[in-house]
Structure 1
């Protein structure tokens, strides 16, 4: 799908961070924007801010609640129509050692980061299949490719997204359906979600990340990794002994210590 003009685009977590920026970008390209977010006040603020850019619809949705997702999807279809492009962007992170996680920390992270993209896609994919047209973009993380202390459950949730997302792409290809799937695996993004993180690899700029994601959708890219070096993670894991990989990534690059001063969004 190379043209967004006239398309209906639904973005989860669309009232802040890169979700909000992507919303602005699709409106500037002539799309109709549908925002799903848990923060009603933020949704209203974004709708007011974007009022002159194009049609914007906002819905307060807790994506960790399957019944709420199902009901909200039905309302969107009734109020607006078929969703042409779905961007599964909503996510949370808990920066603790695994043994410090509560049961709620674990279940909430998996519900929002892993289960929600699948359940939300399940609501809108049948319409895409019927019209033989659509696009699904899933925002995963480089943490879905590499293990990291103090984000074990987050990493697990993103590993799950990557496996499901690319399997979905292959299914659409096997079924010969005109439905694209892009899986995005960025490094830390400077949105506040990872406040306190220290890294010798530069933290990504939200505006640049959002622009690259929208371009990836327009160009039907299979994987989008940021920075470019993320592309070599799987290759390196395959050819290097684990002890050497751990030494290089942990000691030389300092990746395994990036979460030591994590505070997260207040």
Structure 2
């Protein structure tokens, strides 16, 4: 079990969506919370609300800037203390077919969704290993398991993050570090990030998702897939011919059409 109360928890992208809800959950458990977010206005509003709940700190950080990340990490540990639990929550998505994406969109998606979580883990992991305790939770996506048209760049970034996250778990276990790693692969969540997505599978409720993630960290859960049917994705990919899988998932369930009317979060 991972004890959250009295621990220092860092959540990236913690000033909106499930990041905010998870922050509220850890504060209610008696943790100290640090929020890193690139949106100054959202960060200020979240901090004002959370100060009424518990001990919270906030920093404006662009997690794609590794130099900035390293500097803010040093400042955080000097001013507050070492990070016990890192939740890599920040994410970004652009819709459209692959050839419709710009080089800038591809770079930004990969940096935010795949490279930044690795750099953040690389920054805080040595301290956790030295103390022989800690937890890293990487929120990837079911898109890290399922190919999908009009989100190929996003899926690519999440496949990378999912594979890295579970490999990291195995390394930490093999080295007997005492550091836990949880990989979260949720379906679409109603945070606004995927506005106008049409799905035959129910869109996940952000409050339920956030609570389940915190409980998964507390129980040292290896994988958290939502909804439960996502657990059978890998099994069915290996069991059935690809043409049948495409027909079943793409046409019958309609997953391959979910991004047709995608708009994304309104600015």
Bucket of the pairwise TM-score, normalised by the shorter protein: over 0.9
Q: How much has 1:229 moved relative to structure 2?
A: 0.3
Structure 2 Cα separation of the partners of residues 152 and 6 of structure 1: 40
In structure 1, C-alpha distance between the alignment counterparts of 2:87 and 2:2, rounded to whole Å: 15
Deviation at 1:156, TM superposition (A): 0.5
Give the paired residue count.
Answer: 266
Q: Quote the residue 1:16 is aligned against.
A: 16
**For 1:59, what is the secondary structure of its paired residue?**
strand
Any idea what SS the aligned residue of 2:3 has?
A: coil
Q: What CA distance in whole angstroms lies between the structure 2 residues aligned with 1:126 and 1:158?
A: 24
Residue matched to 2:213 = 213
5+ residue gaps, structure 2: none
Query: Equivalences for 1:173-252 in 2 at 5 Å?
Result: 173-252=173-252
Q: CA RMSD in A?
A: 0.6
Say whether 1:102 aligns with 2:102: yes
Alpha-carbon offset, residue 177 of structure 1 = 1.2
Cα drift, residue 65 of structure 1: 1.1
Deviation digits for residues 133-180 of structure 1 (CA, Å, limit 9, x no counterpart)? 000000000000010000001000000011110111011111111110
Structure 1 runs of 4+ off > 4 angstroms? none
Aligned residue in 1 for 2:171: 171
Name structure 1 gaps, 5 residues minimum: none
1:128 aligns with 2:128: yes
Matches within 5 A, 1:70-81: 70-81=70-81
d(CA) in 1 for partners of 2:204 and 2:79?
36
Aligned to 2:91: 91
**TM-score, structure 1 length as denominator?**
0.99
Q: TM-score, normalised by structure 2?
A: 0.99
